[in-house]
Amino acid sequence: MRRFNMCRCRITPERYKEKSKGRYLAQKPKALPRRRARDALSPPPREYKVIKTPRRACKKNTGQELHLPSPQSTQNESLLLGKLPAEIRLQIWAEVVGGKTIHILRKMGKVGHRICPGKGCEHCSPTHMMDNLPRMGYPPREAEPFGKEKILSETSLLPLLSTCRQIYSEAIDLLYTTNTFDFPHVWNLDFFKSTVLPKRFNTIRSITLTHRFDAKHYEDMPSDSRFLAYIPFPTPDEDWQTAAKNLNAMTSLRDLVFRITRITFRDMTTTPNGVQKPFIALSGLAKGLEMFEIVVPYSEHYYSVDLGLMQKGLDEKGVKCTVVKEARPASVSMTPLAPAAVSVPLALIPVTMHGVNG
């Protein structure tokens, strides 16, 4: 019996689902309350008034005056905020907080982010299952979920927004409209949606989403009855339905890159037709997108996904998109960590010729 089967056989299906549910709930953050207290950066109301509550309005604190937040200062003396035109300021804010790729990552009970440093970023390449598995003799790789207090990024875009109300009100929209948000898992998209205001979430225009479809989502995929009893929480169907619902709710979305990762350790579990039917749920969204790209895993074997067949099937189902294959990954050395090389003088190395030392 293979190791994968042995790991599954040590736990019952009920216990497997219970553990997966506990893992999901431990990572899920608390959603924003429907009514939030006004913070220091929230723009004040247009009119500033002192209201005296009537006696019938409330039984407690009868006749007490309610003071609304202080009006926003115009800061005319500031060279940046009072002298520069608004168009110039918006260009400055866009250079600082825009034009970046932001990786949305899961923490334990929180949502974190990491600003992409560019070349060499480990979160830019599709995450395969074996990337997160501990291998004896190989260097460990950090994976989600991260610790709640772990600092994921050395830089942050929030300090500028926290400077004052005027900068916040002018630059907050640029944070969501001019950046690309990368979600390496469908949970990340759902968790992020629950922790930001709906009006902010709906202004996002560019995202990259990575998802590992279940085997039954592939076209003409034979079912494997060995693991049908092991159903995670949430189920693969629930994961995809939630992801499709969240994507369809993004009314301002214009660019979508959807990356598909391998479903098991080997590519032999894929079919030439790839994944088609699940994307029917995004057919309405695809019509309003300027760019919808589906990236399938790279493989050199004959059983890999055929781009032509998958593209043809999606076109017939009314899904307007482009199917591409992921870039060939750089050669990864699978050699275990070796001790540091020790230089040895050439004179100390014995030379053997025909079995005789000379």
| 51-100 per-position pLDDT tens digit | 444 544 444 454 555 445 555 566 777 778 888 888 999 999 999 999 99
CA 258/CA 208 separation, integer angstroms: 6
Segment 126-135, tens digit of pLDDT: 444 344 444 4
Would you tell me how many other CB atoms lie within 10 Å of the CB of residue 261?
19
Answer whether residue 151 shows pLDDT above 60: yes
CB 322 within 8 A of CB 290: no
Segment 249-261, tens digit of pLDDT: 999 999 999 999 8
Answer whether residue 305 shows pLDDT above 90: no
CA 11/CA 84 separation, integer angstroms: 65
How high is the pLDDT of residue 272? 84
Burial level of 294, CB count in 10 A (0-12/13-18/19+)? Answer: buried
How high is the pLDDT of residue 24? 95
How high is the pLDDT of residue 44? 56
CA 21/CA 145 separation, integer angstroms: 15
How high is the pLDDT of residue 84? 86
How high is the pLDDT of residue 1? 37
How high is the pLDDT of residue 42? 60
To which residue do tokens 């942050």 refer? 156
Which residue did the predictor score with more confidence, 76 or 292? Answer: 292
Query: Domain map of the chain by residue range?
Result: 3-31+85-133+142-329
How high is the pLDDT of residue 4? 41
Distance of CA 341 to the CA centre of its chain: 40
Would you tell me how many other CB atoms lie within 10 Å of the CB of residue 59?
7
To which residue do tokens 């600092």 refer? 151
